[in-house]
C-alpha cells in the first residue's frame, strides 16, 4: 500500500529522537526545506527585506539561518562543547550530513546529540519568529541555558539517556 519509497538519509534524526513532537515537526519542515524563511517569502512576493533577524548581517535562508548565522553559530558552538563534541560548526547541509553520518547509532551520546540538534533548530526558529513578529529578543546565553534545561528535563524521563545528561 505504501509503495517503494526512497529512504531519506536523515530518517534516523527524526524517528529515533526523544525530542518534543513540535521540535520534530519543525525539523521535518526544515529538512524538507518547507520553513517560511525570508528567501522563500520573497519568491512568493511577501517580503523584500531579506536580512537575517538574528544577526542583521546577511540574507536569511535555511542554509544560513541555523548554523552559519553569527548568533546561531555561537549557540551551536557552546552546545557542542556541552556535549563534549570537538568539531567546527558549518552550514546547514554540512551539519545535517555530519549528523546523519556520525550520530545515527543508538549509543547514548548520539541520542543526546539528536535531541540537542532538534531542540536547537526549534528554539532558533522560535527566536527568529519572536524577533520578526513580536519584537522580542533573547540573548545567546539565555537561549543556551533554556535549550539545555529543556533537553535535560526531557531526557531525564528516558532511562537510557538520563545518565548521560
What pLDDT, on a 0 to 100 scale, did the predictor assign at position 157? Answer: 79
**What 3-state class would DSSP assign to 57?**
coil
pLDDT > 80? residue 52: yes
What pLDDT, on a 0 to 100 scale, did the predictor assign at position 79? Answer: 95
Is residue 122 a contact partner of residue 151, using CB atoms and an 8 Å limit? no
Tell me, yes or no, if the pTM score tops 0.85: yes
Is residue 124 a contact partner of residue 37, using CB atoms and an 8 Å limit? no
Q: Which comes out higher in pLDDT, residue 135 or 88?
A: 135
The band of 60, judged by pLDDT with boundaries at 50, 70 and 90, is: very high
What pLDDT, on a 0 to 100 scale, did the predictor assign at position 47? Answer: 77
Is residue 54 a contact partner of residue 127, using CB atoms and an 8 Å limit? yes
Extended strands (E) in 7-140: none
Helix and strand totals (H; E) in the chain: 9, 0
Average pLDDT rounded to a whole number, residues 84-102: 90
What pLDDT, on a 0 to 100 scale, did the predictor assign at position 1? Answer: 67
- pLDDT tens digits, 4-46: 778 888 888 888 888 999 999 999 999 999 999 998 988 888 8
Amino acid at each position: 500500500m505504501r509503495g517503494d519509497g526512497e529512504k531519506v538519509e536523515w530518517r534516523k534524526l527524526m524517528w529515533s529522537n526523544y525530542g518534543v513532537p513540535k521540535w520534530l515537526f519543525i525539523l521535518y519542515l526544515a529538512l524538507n526545506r518547507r520553513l517560511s524563511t525570508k528567501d522563500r517569502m520573497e519568491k512568493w512576493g511577501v517580503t523584500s527585506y531579506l536580512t537575517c533577524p538574528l544577526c542583521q548581517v546577511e540574507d536569511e535562508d535555511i542554509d544560513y539561518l541555523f548554523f552559519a548565522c553569527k548568533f546561531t553559530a555561537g549557540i551551536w558552538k557552546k552546545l557542542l562543547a556541552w556535549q563534549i563534541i570537538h568539531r567546527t560548526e558549518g552550514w546547514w547541509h554540512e551539519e545535517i550530513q555530519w549528523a546523519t553520518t556520525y550520530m545515527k547509532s543508538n549509543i547514548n551520546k548520539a541520542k543526546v546529540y539528536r535531541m540537542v540538534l532538534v531542540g536547537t533548530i526549534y528554539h532558533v526558529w522560535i527566536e527568529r519568529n519572536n524577533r520578526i513578529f513580536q519584537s522580542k529578543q533573547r540573548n545567546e546565553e539565555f537561549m543556551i541555558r533554556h535549550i539545555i534545561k529543556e533537553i535535560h528535563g526531557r531526557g531525564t524521563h528516558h532511562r537510557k539517556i538520563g545518565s548521560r545528561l
